[in-house]
């Protein structure tokens, strides 16, 4: 049985756009730094940041790719309040494949960010153990209030058939 | 400081406790119970709350910036997930220089889970690849006037004196 059905193929090109209701803010970057244990003063000390050549504090680069902060979606009973495509395929296990980021410049507190997600590709492969898997590739483009591109994020979600020999990875 | 292919990055090691995971959930507005709720993860037949995989990208960037200092810019980073990491485990970011260019480095990195003996228990994320611009605190998309760095710093010496300045 193929996992790459016509319904799945039809998802390619689907888009969702989320615009933050306010500026990014300096606290967001400082908080993220504390949360991951990265005490780089670029995220907390404006004088230090300016001495390095920046206009002021910035945020850890990957924070912009956390779309939940812009999405303003309702909280589910499982605690999920983030962007997703709602793709559920019976008889499969969903795992994350990986991410590919391109950063164009550092985030500034005054940035108002729009995240534009698009399903870029859907392909089917067979694992080394013989299980079917469906790979959904999504691409997000993050822009500021002047439509300048700040970052891009390509991520893969893999649906692995629960037939014998299924494999997979991240959360 | 000069750079050469094969050079190893100083490793970055971190225990990721449940409190850290809750802090990360707050900082990213991602409150999915898989990352902090023991009863929820037990129903998923998992041994403990699962570390959000995006943490590894943040740690890989931190490893690079800790090494090269504030006048560098991580332009590209990619990584693949290989295994789940659970609350209270220790992860270590490892990396090697694979290419030295005019004003940039290409690195290969990975995130491993540290075993009781300090060795590698399993690979959590990898391979990871990063392209890092040297001699500039900001990226090519920075508007002139908002950064005073130069994106054309040479690989040799561009970041000298900056590493370890934090």
Q: Verify whether the Cβ–Cβ distance B76 to A98 is below 8 Å.
A: no
Partners of A75 on chain B (C-beta within 8 Å) are: 31
Partners of B164 on chain A (C-beta within 8 Å) are: none
Distance (Å) from the C-alpha of residue B36 to the closest C-alpha of chain A? Answer: 10
Residue B53: pLDDT over 80: yes
**pLDDT at site B1:** 81
Q: Of A25-29, A164-168, B146-150, B154-158, which range is least confident?
A: B154-158
Band (pLDDT 50/70/90 cuts) for residue A128 is: confident
**pLDDT at site B97:** 98
**pLDDT at site A82:** 86
Distance (Å) from the C-alpha of residue B96 to the closest C-alpha of chain A? Answer: 19
**pLDDT at site A166:** 43
**pLDDT at site A47:** 98
**pLDDT at site B146:** 64
Q: Verify whether the Cβ–Cβ distance B81 to A169 is below 8 Å.
A: yes
- Interface with A, mutate which of B14, B28, B132 (most A CBs under 10 A): B28
**pLDDT at site B152:** 39
Judge whether B101 and B126 are in contact, CB under 8 Å: no
**pLDDT at site A139:** 98
Q: Verify whether the Cβ–Cβ distance A62 to B57 is below 8 Å.
A: yes
**Residues A58-85: what's their mean pLDDT?**
93
Paired tokens of B53: 């995989």
Percent of chain B at pLDDT above 70?
Answer: 86
pLDDT for B79-89, tens place per residue? Answer: 999 999 999 99
């Amino acid at each position: 049985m193929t996992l790459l059905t016509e319904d799945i193929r039809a998802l390619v090109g689907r888009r969702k756009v989320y615009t933050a209701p306010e500026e990014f803010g300096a606290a967001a970057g400082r908080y993220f730094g504390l949360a991951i244990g990265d005490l780089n003063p670029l995220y907390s000390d404006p004088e230090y940041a300016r001495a390095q050549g920046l206009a002021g504090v910035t945020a850890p680069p990957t924070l912009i790719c956390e779309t939940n902060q812009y999405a303003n979606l309702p909280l589910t009973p499982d605690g999920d309040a983030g962007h997703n495509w709602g793709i559920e395929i019976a008889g499969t296990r969903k795992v994350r494949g990986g991410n590919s980021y391109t950063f164009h410049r550092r985030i500034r507190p005054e940035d108002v960010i729009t995240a534009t997600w698009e399903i870029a590709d859907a392909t089917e492969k067979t694992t080394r153990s013989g299980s079917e898997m469906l790979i959904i590739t999504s691409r997000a483009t993050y822009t500021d209030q002047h439509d300048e591109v700040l970052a891009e994020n390509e991520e893969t979600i893999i649906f692995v058939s629960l037939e014998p020999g299924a494999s997979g990875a991240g959360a | 400081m000069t750079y050469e292919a094969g050079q190893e990055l100083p490793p970055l090691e971190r225990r990721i406790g449940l409190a850290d995971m809750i802090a990360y959930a707050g900082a990213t507005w991602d409150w999915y119970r898989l990352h902090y709720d023991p009863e929820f993860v037990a129903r998923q037949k998992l041994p403990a709350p699962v570390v959000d995989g995006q943490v590894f990208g943040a740690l890989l960037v931190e490893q690079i910036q800790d090494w090269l200092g504030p006048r560098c810019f991580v332009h590209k980073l990619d990584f693949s997930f290989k295994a789940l990491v659970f609350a209270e485990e220790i992860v270590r970011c490892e990396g090697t220089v694979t290419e030295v260019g005019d004003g940039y480095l290409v690195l290969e990195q990975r995130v491993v889970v540290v075993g009781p003996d300090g060795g590698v228990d399993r690979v959590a994320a990898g391979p990871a690849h990063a392209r890092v611009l040297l001699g500039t605190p900001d990226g090519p998309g920075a508007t002139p006037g908002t950064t005073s760095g130069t994106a054309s710093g040479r690989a040799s010496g561009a970041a000298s004196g900056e590493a370890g300045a934090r």
